[in-house]
Amino acid sequence: MAGIAVSTTINGDNAEYLCHADETLLDVLRDRLGLMGVKEGCGTGDCGACSIILDDRLVCSCLVLGAEAEGRRIETVEGMAQGDKLHPLQQKFLEHAALQCGICTPGFLIAAKDLLAKNPNPTEEEIRFGLAGNLCRCTGYDKIVRAVQDAASVMRGA
């Protein structure tokens, strides 16, 4: 079966791939492009581990077809650090130990990046609501919320 040719932008770089009609963007990113930061948790849009930013909107890549990415802009966790310099959210997740097993972390980082882009000074409640689509079974969320608050204040000052 011939694939569908897709031309898109990922973390600022042009990317082209062939995919099947029923292939999700999550599978394309991982299996065809080697971007392993997107994780498959549930595959049904409940856990947020596969979160990406698609044309400035936070979405679950498991609920997007690979073919739909034609002509669009994709941001993944791989685009957050600048060379060796971590994004403030990544730095603060480390400092606050806001992760244990790490499976949910890329999704949380991307969701938090989207949240802070739209609301640079969120309340704790806004952070908890904003990140409600990301599930973490290890941390109990408090450390994640504190890391996001701390990163937000760093980013406002920067």
Partner 1 sequence: MRYVRPSSLEDAVGLLIEASGKAAVLAGGSDLLVRMKSGFIEPELIIDIKAIDALNNIVENDEGFVIGAAVPSAVLGEHAALKRAWPGVVEGANLIGSKQVQGRCTIVGNLCNASPAADSVPALVAAGAKAVIRGPTGSRTTAVETVPVGPGRTSLAPGEIIQAILLDKRQPYSGDAYQRFTPRTEMDIAVVSAAVNLTLDDQGVVASARVSLGAAAPTVLLVEEAAAILIGSRVDDSTLDRLAETCSGACRPIDDKRGTVEFRRKVAGVLAKRVALIAYQRAGQK
Which residues of the chain form contacts with partner 1 (CB under 8 A)? 4, 20-22, 24, 43-46, 48, 51, 54, 57-60, 62-65, 67-68, 70, 111, 114-115, 129-134
Minimum CB separation from partner 1 for residue 18, in Å? 12
Query: Do 111 and 134 touch, CB atoms closer than 8 A?
Result: yes
Closest CB to partner 1 among residues 48, 79: 48
Minimum CB separation from partner 1 for residue 54, in Å? 7
Taking the C-alpha atoms of 70, 76, 80 and 82 in order, what is their torsion angle to the nearest 10 degrees? Answer: -60
Minimum CB separation from partner 1 for residue 130, in Å? 6
Closest CB to partner 1 among residues 64, 109: 64
Cα end-to-end span (Å), the chain: 51
Closest CB to partner 1 among residues 63, 154: 63
What CA–CA distance (Å, rounded) separates 24 from 64? 6
Closest CB to partner 1 among residues 61, 139: 61
Q: Cα 45 vs. chain centroid, distance in angstroms?
A: 13
Minimum CB separation from partner 1 for residue 102, in Å? 19
Query: Do 87 and 77 touch, CB atoms closer than 8 A?
Result: no
Q: DSSP assignment, residue 57?
A: E
